[in-house]
Chain A
């Protein structure tokens, strides 16, 4: 029964895997993958022999952690709220509304953000001046951006992920709720003692899988929403954007492969660790 699935995975994800050695080679197209010169760890150097290395790593991990936390809380909260609405057409309206941002590409989000945050006539500054306050130079103030990006990430993804949680909530037998109501439990108590515990498995799955990707940033968001504004790099430059900039001139596949391998490896170790933690608490809920 699992044969077709596993087959596809093998073909598309495992067959190409030996190619991962491209990270250790000085890839030259005319020599092909196997004959290109082996250079050991040289391709990784540009990632590590720089002061920037620390900054991009910290930014990536720190920001992703915030994103994971806020995303889970946000989409869960949304799902809970949506689950409470009694009027069906209202529920459909709300859900469509929060789902829509998922469709908007980061490029357009960036444009919209610019309309909001532009110094000269962005909506925010116009409002600030009208209130008698100093306009803020948004694209040159790095400290504001972890917050801005968190909100943006939430806006884009909360609706999408809330659907998973809603579907899980749908699977909870209403008998539980009816029994609780008869016992006089308040709605809030019902949520905390029935809904949440029963959908914990899916929350954990999402959490673990997100953690595995903690070293990968969403390039689109970091590049287009910040408009690649140089003065924001201190807090918004992540591994993906850095590699993109550095390699744009060179177009070196070996170095690009090295960066990807680095991200994968750390993500892998992280997920191993997180999974082990979960196993200690409740073996049933772990990934593997």
Chain B
């Protein structure tokens, strides 16, 4: 087999007919596994976007058959003139592999035997704890596949997957139960991140605070139509007796419960060829299934991986010699006009607490706290990395950073949870155009809560998309003023816009910021750019009249 490669493409020529999956390695470190069943004897692929930043220097690319490790071909290539060897590792030097979601992560085969044993041990403990909670746990996904096929964890996987079979059939009851399960697991000491109502991820950190591995916990249930469901992917025809009573599978010496008919389960989860190892296998959830599960259980993690990577990466910069704070300001330069406008606007805000919704690394929160020493600034975000960066950079005791997820109705409870009393103000810098309409509905509500509390609300956004806008990069998204006006009116709100001058790029001169009168024609420079706009939010007159200032139980019903 021949290999050709540039920094953009990888071409594999004369692939053996029997090969279903190949492992691509740089200097013997696996970086990517590819399901090649869909291709002919020759294929040219783009290097995945997430790998491209690492394609620097030279390496020996080798391609092996994933099933038996047979070397199919190798070749020395230079991606660039840089003298170093190409390295795809994290900041600890641990090799990273492209996972089934197209993201880079640490695969189990790169973890030590000790860590793998720990994952199995922790999975066993978790199964016991779920049983103690009165649930019916069993292993699913790659953990079940590895156990059935080889009696061990899949080397190409990156976590353990455990589900519990709910007794409920109604999605609302299943979600409600899952919220309680999540709280019970948190009470047991687990660090938990919710991707949806029924998909929880338990995070396990090392002594340095870095995440070593995950265990995913899912709810599974039979819906009223008789189908088995395990969001986010599994949905298919399965009889109760194919599920219960549970059978057993082994991972090393550990015994785990499994569906009675593992063949049926794995066929629904993967396909009828689940016995053939395809490390590059990509789960292809039917759109109607995704739509159903997203509706029933939400997408609490919508774009969160992006933001975690965005703020995680900014924190590791420093080659320029600049401080981490300066580096972050540089990375967030595109939002500077909105930041400055919100600072000047919030100068007139008088509530004792100001909430910075979608605070990111907290640049604006800190500036707002410095501007007015007497007020408490509460920065809120759903990205763990963003909140960590914000807390690291904040020396100011009047600035707090807390988790809030605008894809959840629970976000409305933030005031009670974080001790915010009336009145409070809200600002949001380039949040609304980057969260989608589901998140926006709760952002509008929080702004309305601020206004009803006697506070004020303002936000900034881009009215034009970036030239290379994509679905996967929300920083390029935009909103039009007409759409915002229409949305605001649905929440009984009015919006007043002000066009903001774009910041001049740092290398071409100092940042010049000025509010442009909204009635003036938009300058040519503004037309060419992203068109940052500031927006002041007010209660529409009818809302002011209709909403009581003091809440009472509201009589009998």
Do A and B assemble together? Answer: no
Chain A interface (Cβ < 8 Å from any Cβ of B): none
Chain B interface (Cβ < 8 Å from any Cβ of A): none
